[in-house]
């Protein structure tokens, strides 16, 4: 399978509440993206990592989700150069993670945003 359809499958499965399917597709997409874009400068990589972070949030695995969200900032300018839809989804996930003090560490710390 190719990266973009796998990432889309993960997000669609997540939206439908099919966490097992979302986890499998997002995990595979993230691993594929890391192999294809080891320098971290592709929005396809960011989308795959964000899909996995969203899945981890839905599973209540906040620490793992936070780690994945932080990887969106490596290299530091990667997310800033991504399309608006990618930036918006990352911001939505961070807001979900940080809402109501659910997670106090980065990326919820002001310096991380």
Q: Is 96 exposed, middle or buried (0-12, 13-18, 19+ CB in 10 A)?
A: middle
Share of the chain above pLDDT 90, in %: 65
Average pLDDT, the chain: 89
pLDDT at 29 exceeding the cut of 50: yes
Place of tokens 């499998």: 24
pTM for the structure as a whole: 0.89
- For residue 80, CA distances in Å to 4, 17, 31, 102 come to 20, 30, 22, 25
pLDDT at 57 exceeding the cut of 90: yes
| Token duo for residue 1 | 């399978």
- For residue 112, CA distances in Å to 18, 38, 67, 78, 108 come to 31, 22, 12, 14, 7
43 three-state secondary structure: helix
pLDDT category, 75, cuts 50, 70, 90? confident
């Amino acid at each position: 399978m190719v990266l973009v359809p796998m990432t889309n499958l993960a997000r669609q499965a997540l939206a439908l509440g099919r966490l097992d399917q979302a986890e499998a597709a997002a995990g595979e997409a993230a691993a594929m993206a890391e192999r294809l874009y080891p320098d971290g400068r592709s929005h396809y990589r960011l989308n795959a990592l964000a899909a996995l972070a969203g899945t981890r949030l839905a599973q209540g695995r906040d620490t793992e989700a936070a780690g994945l969200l932080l990887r969106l900032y490596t290299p530091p300018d990667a997310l800033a150069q991504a399309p608006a839809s990618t930036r918006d989804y990352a911001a939505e996930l961070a807001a979900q993670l940080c809402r109501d003090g659910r997670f106090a560490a980065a990326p919820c710390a002001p310096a991380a945003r």
